[in-house]
Amino acid sequence: MSDDRLIVALDLPNVLDGLELAKTLGDSVSFYKIGLGMLTGGGLALANELKQEHGKRIFLDMKFFDIGATVEAAVRGVAQFDLDFLTVHGDPHVVRAAREGAGGSDMKILAVTILTSLDRDDLDASCIKAGDVADLVQERAGTALSNGADGVIASPQEAALIRALPEAEGKLIVTPGVRPAGAALGDQKRVMTPAQAIANGADHVVVGRPIWQADSPKAAAQGILAELASPQAKTPNH
């Protein structure tokens, strides 16, 4: 059995390349994230194929945000498929609507707090209230979890702050912005290694480019899996 704490982001240009990568990674990877970039190119069909025909777990990263009725309808639509994680923005009305739309399905609703690409200047430009970004992330995470989210998306730096919240007891923390030591950062600014993210309280790490852009994606994935199996990736008691 492969370690499903590693989620590979399939941010490839098209579905055929995505399927090819999944085949290359084979049994070493059991969990994939499919996002908006692939939506119009058959991303949902790929999600279903990987789930139904290859037995993979699927994280559909749609980051829904709209009026409650629309979010509820969209999530109800996705919940017909047997997928594992779905993202929505962490605003209370969005999370409550998503919870309603998910009904009795096993699909986990994960809330986005504040996108890790945004800094204080960006938040000012969007008229988001004053305060330290980390404090706002923690507050939004607590609100999303108390409104019914099954977990949150957070940078590895934020994971420990969120894990400390009483509302986070038994909830999932999923962290992108993870880089094995020595890997290129790309546009990620605040990164940690997979082991550090897990030690900070993350349940899953999402890794994209360090795997799919590697000369040997399989070797890159196996390197990360070895790191996750090391004592440095010890999960804290929570």
Name the residue nearer to ligand C5P (CB basis): 166 or 210. 210
Site for ligand C5P in 22-41 (CB under 6 A): 35
Phi-psi category of residue 158: left, alpha or beta, with phi > 0 → left and psi -120 to 50 → alpha: alpha
* Two structure tokens written together for 40: 């119009």
Asked if 152 touches ligand C5P (CB under 6 A), the answer is no
- Contact between 155 and 190 under an 8 Å Cβ cutoff? The reply is yes
* 187 tagged catalytic: no
CA-to-CA dists, residue 196 to 27, 162, 190, angstroms: 25, 15, 12
* Catalytically annotated residue among 56, 61, 84, 150: 61
- Contact between 75 and 69 under an 8 Å Cβ cutoff? The reply is no
Among the residue ranges 49-57, 132-140, 164-172, 207-215, the one whose residues contact ligand C5P (CB under 6 A): 207-215
Least Å distance, CB 177 to ligand C5P, is: 6
Least Å distance, CB 111 to ligand C5P, is: 11
Among the residue ranges 18-26, 41-49, 158-166, 203-211, the one whose residues contact ligand C5P (CB under 6 A): 203-211
E-assigned strand segments in the chain? 6-9, 31-35, 57-64, 85-89, 108-112, 151-153, 172-175, 204-207
Name the residue nearer to ligand C5P (CB basis): 98 or 153. 153
**Is 11 labelled as part of a ligand binding site?**
yes
Which one of residues 57, 96, 209, 218 is an interface residue with ligand C5P (CB under 6 A)?
Answer: 209
* 135 tagged catalytic: no
Name the residue nearer to ligand C5P (CB basis): 76 or 136. 136
For residue 39, the 8-state DSSP code is G
Asked if 188 touches ligand C5P (CB under 6 A), the answer is yes
Asked if 141 touches ligand C5P (CB under 6 A), the answer is no
3-state secondary structure of 205: strand
- Contact between 39 and 237 under an 8 Å Cβ cutoff? The reply is no
Task: Please say whether the dihedral angle defined by the alpha carbons of residues 32, 35, 41 and 45, taken in this order, is positive or negative.
Answer: positive
- For the annotated catalytic residues, the residue numbers are 61, 63, 66
Binding-site ranges for ligand C5P (CB under 6 A): 9, 11, 35, 115-116, 153, 176-177, 186, 188, 206-209
